[in-house]
C-alpha cells in the first residue's frame, strides 16, 4: 500500500528530525488576547502595539501600574516657563545596536512620528504641541510648545525613541513640524523584519511571525535593572477558551484576559493564580442631546422644532427628544442599580462608577459616590418632566467589545423598563456598532472609555466636550452633549501647567459634567490576568500586558 | 478539452469580477475601518486626516475603481492593519493552513477508507454498527466543541500534546513546514484530527456504501470463483472501485478545509488563513478580506478543474463520454 509506506516514511522523518527540548527556567511564554499590528512603535496607536512597544522602545517618561509618571530615558523634567519644558536625559544609555542615546534621537523620533505612511492611527496627537527643540548639550532637551501644554511629560510617555544613528542620520537635526528635512526614515516593514527594531528597552527583538508568535530576548546592555526573562514569547490566542486551555495544558505560563466565568476555578486551583486590578476603563451610557428629535425613542409625540444637522432625523420624521431634559437623564441614572450589575453580571470584577475615572486618579473628586439606585425617585422625575407614562427606547450596545457588554445592556433595559421606559436592546458586533453609533442612530448607547493619560482631562475632553475640530474637544462625544461653560473649564485645564491648579479645575469640571448628567458612568472594569503558580503580575490600570511586569516568586 | 478549458476560464473571470464587487460592497457596508483602527482618543481633525490618508473619504465606486485598476496590475492593495500587501500576508499564512488541510484530508483517507470498508464488509456485525454510529457522531458534533474536548483530554488531562499554536518549523524552499519536526507534528496533530473528523465520517459512509455495492458486482463474484484470495479482492478490486466518489468529494472538501478552517484555527490558535480572515473581518481590513475571498474563488475553480481531470483518469468511461 502506497499510503502505508508514506505513513512510515513520515514517522521515520519525524523521528530523524526530533530535537531535544531543553527545559529553561528563565523563559516566559505568554498567551495574549490580541496581536499587535506591527513592531513599528509609531505606526498604530492602539493598546496591543503600545504595550509591546514598552519592551523594546523606551520613552522619555514611563507610566507605572497606576499610570503615575516615572523617569525613564529622562531622569527629570520641569516646566521652565508656561511654554517650555526642560528634560534632563539619562547618560550612558545604549541602543540595541550599541549606539549612544542622546537628545538627537529624541528629535529624530519626534520627526518620524507624523511621517509614517498609511498609519491607521497616528501618534501625532502626542507630538503636535511641540513647537521646537533646543539642545544646550546632548543630555539636556528643551521642549518649546505652542501655548501652555501641561501634559507634555505624559504625552512623552506614549511615543518610543528610535536610534538616529541606526537610521543613518549623521548631521544635526533641525526640528520642524513637517519632516525636519529628513527623508530616510525606517519603514514599518523594516521594523516587522527586525532590521529597524532598535530601541533602548530591556528586551530586544528576536522574531515576529504574524499570527503565531513574537519572540524577544534579554538586552544584556540594558542601563537599568536587567530583564528577568532570557526569552519572552508572546502568542496571540484570541479565543478566550483556547487561551484558557493553553494555560491549563502548560503551553503558556501566563495569559491575558482569562474568561470571567473561569476566574473562580483558577483561584481555587493550586497550580494557578489570578492577578486583578482596577482599570481606567469606565463603561458608560451616552445620551443623544443634540436635536429636538431623536431616532431611537418613540411615544413622546411630535417635537416643537425641526431637526437640523447630521443624523438619521435629518432625513426622516423622528419623535420628540426627552433626553434634552436633565430630569429625564437623572431619572435614567437613578433607575440603574449599579451595585446589582457589579455583583450579578460582572461577578464582582467591576466597581460602580460615580465619575469617569476611578477614585484616586488625578482630577477625581474624593468621596464622589455613584448615583444611588432609586426607582421611585426616577418615576417621580419622569412624571415631573412630563412623561408619567414613560416612553419607548432602543438601547444600543456592542456585544464583543467590553466585558459582558451586551449582558449589562440587557439588565439596564430591564431596569429602565421597571421605571416606565420600555427599553429594548440592539446589540451588534463592534464594527457595525461603531459605524451605527457614529451615524448618530442611537438615542442611548453603552460604550467604554480608557483614559490613556490616566487623568481627568482625557475623558472630559473626548466624551463631554462640545464636538469641534477647532478646539479638539468631543472626539468621541457621540451623544453630542454641549455645555460652553464646561468646555471653557476643560480648555483652561489643558492650558494650566501648575499641577495643583489644574487638578482643582478638573475636579470642578468633572463635578459639573456629573451634575448635569451629561453622561452616565456605570462601572470601572477590573482587569484579570491568570498565570501558573510561582509568578506574580502587577495589575495595570491601562490594561496593558507586559512581560516586564511578570516576576518569578523567590 | 481545450474548448472546455477556455470556457471554464472565461466563466471564472466573470465569477471573480462579480465576487470582487459583492465583497467590496459587503465590507464597505459593514462599517468604516477607521472606526475600529483609530485610537478613540484622536480628536476630530486627526480622525478626518486618517480617513483621508487611507482614501476612505472617497465614494464607494471611486474606491472600487482604484482597487480594480491596481488589481489588474496584480496589486490587491495594502492591509489597513499591517501596512503590507494583502497578498503577502495571505501567502505568509497559507503554508500553515495547507499543511493542516493536507494532513486532515490524509487522516480522513487513511482512517476513513479502511473503516468504511470494514463497515461495508461486516455490515450487520457489532463492529460495523459501531463504526457507523461513530460516523454519525463525527457528522453531528460541532467542530469547536470537539476541538475543546480534544484539548481538555489530550493536552490538559493527559498532557500529551500541546493545546495551541504552531510548533517548530523547518524551511523547505523558503516555506516554513512543521510536518518535519516532532514538535511541529505534535502541534499539528490535534487540529488536523479535529478538522478531519467530519471528512472522515463522510469517507466512511462513502466507502461503506461503495463497498456494499461493489461486493454485489459480477466481477467480484467472478474473481471469487477464480479462487483469488479474499485479501486481494478487497485491497485491489474493491478498493479501486470505491475511490472514485471518495476523490470527488474529498477534492471539494479540501477546498473547504483550506478556505474555511476558521473554527479549528480559532480554537487551536493555528496561525493559518482562516484565523486571518476572522481577524481581518473584525478589523474591517478590507483589502485582506477582498483578496482572501478572490483567492478562495480562484482556488475552488482550480480544484474543481483538477477533480474533473482526476475523475477522467480513474474512470475511463468519463473520458470516453467527454470526447463524444
Residues of B in Cβ contact (< 8 Å) with A241: 148, 267
Q: What DSSP assignment string belongs to B81-139?
A: TT-SBHHHHHHHHHHHHHHHHHHHHHHHHHHHHHHHHHHHHTTTSHHHHHHHHHHHHHH
Which residue is associated with the grid cell 415631573? A384
Tell me if A202 sits within 8 A of A222, measured CB to CB. yes
- Put simply, the answer to whether B283 touches A431 (Cβ < 8 Å) is yes
Q: What is the pLDDT of residue A106?
A: 95
| DSSP secondary structure letters along B14-59 | HHHHHHHHHHHHHHHHH--HHHHHS-TTS-HHHHHHHHHHTTTTS-
Is the CB of B82 inside 8 Å of chain A's CB atoms?
yes
What's the pLDDT score for residue A7? 43
The Cα A483–Cα A514 span in angstroms is: 12
CB contact (8 A) between residue A468 and residue B44: yes
Does A472 contact B159 at a Cβ distance shorter than 8 Å?
no
* pTM score of the predicted model: 0.84
Q: Distance (Å, rounded) from C-alpha A354 to C-alpha A368?
A: 6
* pLDDT for residue A16: 40
Judge whether B299 and B258 are in contact, CB under 8 Å: yes
Higher-confidence residue: A13 or A479? A479
CA distance A516 to A496: 24
Q: Measured between CB atoms, does B46 come within 8 Å of chain A?
A: yes
Rounded Cα–Cα distance for residues A159 and A161 (Å): 7
CB contact under 8 A, A242 and B83: no
B203 CB neighbours in chain A (<8 A) are none
Q: How far apart are CA A191 and CA A39, in angstroms?
A: 6
Tell me if A191 sits within 8 A of A38, measured CB to CB: yes
Q: Which residues of B touch A449 (CB under 8 A)?
A: 40
| A230/A220 Cα distance (integer angstroms) | 9
- Hey, are the CB atoms on B182 and A18 less than 8 Å from each other? yes
List the single residue in B48, B266, B271 with the smallest CB-CB distance to A209: B271
- According to the model, what pLDDT value does residue B177 have? 78
**Lookup result for grid cell 439606585:** A373
Query: Per residue in A195-227, pLDDT tens?
Result: 999 999 999 999 998 888 899 999 999 999 999
Question: Each residue of A389-409: pLDDT tens digit?
Answer: 999 999 999 998 898 999 999
d(CA B155, CA B157): 6
Residues A81-122: pLDDT tens digits? Answer: 999 999 999 999 999 999 999 999 999 999 999 999 888 889
Q: Taking CB atoms and an 8 Å cutoff, what residues of chain A touch B33?
A: 120
The distance of B119 to chain A (nearest Cα, Å) reads 20
pLDDT, tens digit, for every residue of B46-67?
A: 888 888 888 888 888 888 888 8
**What are the distances in angstroms from CA A495 to CA A96, A457, A488?**
37, 11, 11
Among candidates B44, B110, B168 on the partner chain, residue whose Cβ is nearest the Cβ of A475 = B44
Residues in CB range of A189: below 8 A, 6 or more apart: B83, B84
Determine the Cα–Cα distance for residues B141 and A353; give it in Å rounded to an integer: 43
Within 8 A of A188 by CB-CB distance, chain B residues are 83-84
Contact predicate A187/A174, CB 8 Å: no
Q: Is A118's CB within 8 Å of B78's CB?
A: yes
Give the residue from chain B lying closest to A116, CA to CA. B83
C-alpha cell at A299: 411615544
User: For the residues A217-241, what does the mean pLDDT come to?
Assistant: 92
* Residue A216 dihedral angles phi and psi, to the nearest 5°: -125, 150
pLDDT at position A25 is 55
Window from A22-26, A145-149, A255-259, A368-372 with minimum mean pLDDT: A22-26
Residues of A in contact with B54 (CB under 8 A): 118, 120
Say how far apart CA A353 and CA A285 lie, in whole Å: 12
Instruction: Provide the sign of the torsion angle of the four alpha carbons B125, B128, B134, B135, taken in this order.
Output: negative
Output the pLDDT for position B1.
60
| CB interface of B with A, residues 126-165, below 8 Å | 148, 151-152, 155-156, 159, 162-165
**Cell, residue A296:** 431611537
Distance in angstroms (rounded) separating the CA atoms of residues B23 and B71: 14
Nearest-angstrom CA–CA distance, A393 and A337: 18
For residue A251, the distance in angstroms to the closest alpha carbon of chain B comes to 6
pLDDT at A54: 94
Contact A118 B83 (CB under 8 A): yes
- Longest Cα–Cα distance of chain B, Å, equals 88
Give residue-wise pLDDT tens across range B113-125: 889 888 888 888 8
In chain B, residues 247-266 whose CB comes closer than 8 Å to chain A: 266
pLDDT by 10s per residue, chain B, length 324: 667 667 777 877 888 888 888 888 888 878 888 888 888 888 888 888 888 888 888 888 888 888 888 888 888 888 888 888 888 888 888 888 888 888 998 998 899 888 988 888 888 888 888 888 888 888 888 888 888 888 888 888 888 888 877 877 777 777 777 777 778 888 888 899 888 888 889 889 888 888 888 888 888 888 888 888 878 877 777 887 788 788 878 877 888 888 778 888 888 888 888 888 888 888 888 888 888 888 888 887 777 777 777 666 666 666 555 444
Backbone angles phi, psi at A71, to 5 degrees: -70, 135
* Per-chain mean pLDDT for chain B: 82
Q: Which residue in A10, A19, A458 is closest to B183 by CB distance?
A: A19
Nearest to B89 by CA among B232, B272, B293: B272
Residue A500 in this model has a pLDDT that exceeds 50:
yes
Q: B163 vs A249: CB contact, 8 Å cut-off?
A: yes
- State the Cα angle at B213 between B209 and B218, rounded to 5°: 165
Nearest residue to A355 via CA among A337, A346, A367, A345: A367
Whole-complex ipTM = 0.80
Interface of B with A in 170-189 (CB under 8 A): 170, 179-183, 185
With a CB cutoff of 8 Å and minimum separation 6, the contacts of A33 are A236, A237, A238, A240, A243, A255, A256, A257, A545
- Condensed to tens digits (0 to 9), the pLDDT of residues A28-67 reads 999 999 889 899 999 999 889 999 999 999 999 999 998 8
CB contact under 8 A, A242 and B49: no
Amino acid at each position: 500500500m502506497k499510503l502505508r509506506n508514506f505513513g512510515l516514511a513520515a514517522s521515520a522523518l519525524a523521528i530523524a528530525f526530533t530535537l531535544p527540548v531543553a527545559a529553561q527556567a528563565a523563559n516566559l511564554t505568554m498567551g495574549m488576547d490580541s496581536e499587535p499590528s506591527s513592531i513599528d512603535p509609531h505606526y498604530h496607536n492602539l493598546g496591543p502595539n503600545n504595550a509591546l512597544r514598552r519592551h523594546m522602545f523606551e520613552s522619555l517618561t514611563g507610566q507605572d501600574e497606576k499610570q503615575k509618571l516615572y523617569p525613564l530615558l529622562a531622569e527629570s523634567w520641569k516646566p521652565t516657563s508656561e511654554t517650555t519644558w526642560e528634560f534632563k536625559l539619562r547618560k550612558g544609555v545604549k541602543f540595541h545596536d550599541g549606539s549612544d542615546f542622546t537628545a538627537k534621537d529624541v528629535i529624530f523620533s519626534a520627526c518620524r512620528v507624523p511621517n509614517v505612511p498609511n498609519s491607521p492611527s497616528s501618534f501625532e496627537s502626542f507630538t503636535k504641541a511641540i513647537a521646537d527643540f533646543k539642545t544646550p548639550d546632548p543630555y539636556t532637551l528643551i521642549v518649546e510648545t505652542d501655548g501652555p501644554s501641561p501634559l507634555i511629560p505624559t504625552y512623552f510617555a506614549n511615543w518610543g525613541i528610535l536610534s538616529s544613528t541606526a537610521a543613518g542620520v549623521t548631521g544635526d537635526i533641525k526640528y520642524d513640524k513637517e519632516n525636519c528635512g529628513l527623508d530616510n526614515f525606517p519603514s514599518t516593514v523594516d521594523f516587522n523584519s527586525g532590521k529597524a527594531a532598535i530601541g533602548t528597552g530591556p528586551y530586544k527583538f528576536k522574531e515576529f511571525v504574524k499570527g503565531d508568535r513574537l519572540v524577544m530576548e534579554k538586552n544584556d546592555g540594558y542601563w537599568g535593572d536587567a530583564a528577568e526573562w532570557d526569552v519572552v514569547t508572546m502568542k496571540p490566542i484570541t479565543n478566550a477558551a483556547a487561551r484558557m486551555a493553553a494555560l491549563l495544558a502548560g503551553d503558556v505560563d501566563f495569559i491575558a484576559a482569562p474568561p470571567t466565568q473561569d476566574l473562580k476555578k483558577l483561584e481555587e486551583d493550586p497550580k494557578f493564580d489570578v492577578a486583578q486590578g482596577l482599570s481606567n476603563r469606565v463603561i458608560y451610557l451616552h445620551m443623544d442631546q443634540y436635536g429636538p428629535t431623536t431616532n431611537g425613542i418613540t411615544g413622546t409625540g411630535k417635537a416643537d422644532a425641526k431637526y437640523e444637522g447630521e443624523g438619521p432625523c435629518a432625513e426622516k420624521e423622528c419623535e420628540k427628544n426627552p433626553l434634552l431634559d436633565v430630569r429625564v437623564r437623572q431619572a435614567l441614572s437613578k433607575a440603574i442599580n449599579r451595585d446589582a450589575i457589579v455583583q450579578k453580571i460582572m461577578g464582582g470584577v467591576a466597581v460602580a462608577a460615580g465619575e469617569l475615572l476611578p477614585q484616586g486618579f488625578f482630577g477625581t473628586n474624593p468621596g464622589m459616590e455613584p448615583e444611588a439606585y432609586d426607582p421611585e425617585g426616577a418615576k417621580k422625575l419622569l412624571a415631573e418632566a412630563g412623561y408619567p407614562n414613560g416612553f419607548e427606547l432602543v438601547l444600543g450596545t456592542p456585544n464583543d467589545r467590553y466585558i459582558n457588554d451586551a449582558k449589562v445592556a440587557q439588565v439596564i433595559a430591564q431596569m429602565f423598563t421597571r421605571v416606565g421606559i420600555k427599553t429594548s436592546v440592539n446589540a451588534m458586533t463592534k464594527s457595525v456598532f461603531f459605524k451605527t453609533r457614529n451615524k448618530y442612530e442611537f438615542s442611548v448607547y453603552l460604550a467604554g472609555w480608557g483614559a490613556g493619560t490616566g487623568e481627568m482631562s482625557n475623558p472630559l475632553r473626548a466624551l463631554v466636550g462640545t464636538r469641534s475640530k477647532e478646539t479638539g474637544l468631543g472626539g468621541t462625544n457621540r451623544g453630542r452633549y454641549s455645555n460652553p461653560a464646561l468646555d471653557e473649564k476643560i480648555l483652561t485645564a489643558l492650558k494650566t501647567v501648575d499641577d495643583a491648579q489644574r487638578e482643582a479645575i478638573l475636579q470642578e469640571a468633572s463635578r459639573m459634567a456629573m451634575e448635569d448628567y451629561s453622561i452616565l458612568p456605570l462601572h470601572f472594569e477590573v482587569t484579570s490576568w491568570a498565570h501558573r503558580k510561582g509568578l506574580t503580575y502587577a495589575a495595570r490600570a491601562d490594561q496593558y500586558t507586559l512581560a516586564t511586569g511578570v516576576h518569578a516568586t523567590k | 478539452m481545450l474548448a472546455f478549458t477556455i470556457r471554464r476560464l472565461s466563466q471564472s473571470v466573470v465569477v471573480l469580477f462579480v465576487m470582487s464587487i459583492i465583497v467590496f460592497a459587503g465590507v464597505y457596508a459593514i462599517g468604516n475601518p477607521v472606526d475600529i483602527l483609530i485610537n478613540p482618543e484622536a480628536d476630530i481633525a486627526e480622525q478626518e486626516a486618517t480617513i483621508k490618508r487611507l482614501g476612505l473619504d472617497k465614494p464607494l465606486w471611486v474606491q472600487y475603481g482604484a482597487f480594480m485598476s491596481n488589481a489588474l496590475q496584480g496589486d490587491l492593495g495594502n492591509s489597513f492593519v499591517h501596512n503590507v500587501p494583502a497578498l503577502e500576508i495571505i501567502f505568509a499564512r497559507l503554508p500553515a493552513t495547507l499543511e493542516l488541510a493536507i494532513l486532515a484530508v490524509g487522516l480522513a483517507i487513511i482512517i476513513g477508507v479502511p473503516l468504511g470498508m470494514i463497515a461495508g464488509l461486516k455490515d450487520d456485525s457489532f463492529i460495523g454498527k459501531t463504526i457507523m454510529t461513530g460516523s454519525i457522531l463525527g457528522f453531528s458534533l460541532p467542530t469547536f466543541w470537539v476541538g475543546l474536548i480534544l484539548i481538555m483530554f489530550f493536552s490538559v488531562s493527559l498532557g500529551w500534546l500541546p493545546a495551541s499554536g504552531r510548533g517548530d518549523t523547518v524551511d523547505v524552499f523558503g516555506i516554513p513546514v512543521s510536518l518535519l519536526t516532532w514538535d511541529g507534528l505534535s502541534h499539528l496533530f490535534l487540529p488536523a484530527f479535529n478538522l478531519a473528523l467530519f471528512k472522515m465520517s463522510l469517507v466512511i459512509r462513502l466507502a461503506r456504501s461503495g463497498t456494499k455495492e461493489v461486493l454485489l458486482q459480477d466481477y467480484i463474484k467472478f474473481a471469487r470463483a477464480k479462487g483469488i484470495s479474499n485479501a486481494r479482492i478487497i485491497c485491489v478490486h474493491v478498493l479501486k472501485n470505491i475511490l472514485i466518489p471518495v476523490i470527488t468529494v474529498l477534492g471539494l472538501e479540501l477546498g473547504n478545509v483550506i478556505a474555511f478552517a476558521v473554527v479549528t484555527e480559532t480554537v487551536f490558535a493555528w496561525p493559518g488563513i482562516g484565523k486571518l480572515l476572522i481577524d481581518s473581518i473584525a478589523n474591517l481590513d478590507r483589502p485582506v478580506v477582498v483578496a482572501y475571498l478572490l483567492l478562495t474563488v480562484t482556488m475552488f475553480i482550480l480544484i474543481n478543474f483538477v477533480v474533473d481531470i482526476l475523475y477522467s483518469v480513474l474512470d475511463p468511461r468519463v473520458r470516453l463520454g467527454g470526447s463524444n
